Amino acid sequence: MPDRVLAPIRRLTRVMGVVLLGVMISLPALQVVLREVIGRPFVGAEELARFMLICVVFVTLPYVVSSGGSIRMEEILAALPRWVQRPVRAIGAAVACAAFAIAAGSVAIATLRNLDN
């Protein structure tokens, strides 16, 4: 049931990630063409490409996690007794969510503060 509910969200994050990746790749190419062929550089293209990289990571992270594609070191967890594994997994998920929330908040604050530059 949860897979059926999450399928459209996974599809959306995958499509958004591909679009953002395309934009991220095309920005430096556009910068080179504008600077070398037309003689007018695209001011801020490098910063926008860096921002697109951040967007790609944060938009596709839910897709990667929900698809089970994230890298985990489970050897230590597998060595623990079975009754300890479940709470440790829950704590790990909670810590990962907290770290993601802190990182996302930091990126949002830094982006909003630097909109003037």
Identify which has the larger pLDDT, 102 or 41. 102
Q: What is the 3-state secondary structure (H, E, C) of the chain?
A: CHHHHHHHHHHHHHHHHHHHHHHHHHHHHHHHHHHHHHCCCCCCHHHHHHHHHHHHHHHHHHHHHHCCCCCCCCHHHHHCCHHHHHHHHHHHHHHHHHHHHHHHHHHHHHHHHCCCC
Tens digit of pLDDT for each residue in 2-51? 678 778 888 888 898 899 899 889 988 888 888 888 888 888 888 888 88
Confidence band for 69, pLDDT divided at 50, 70 and 90: low
pTM value is 0.58
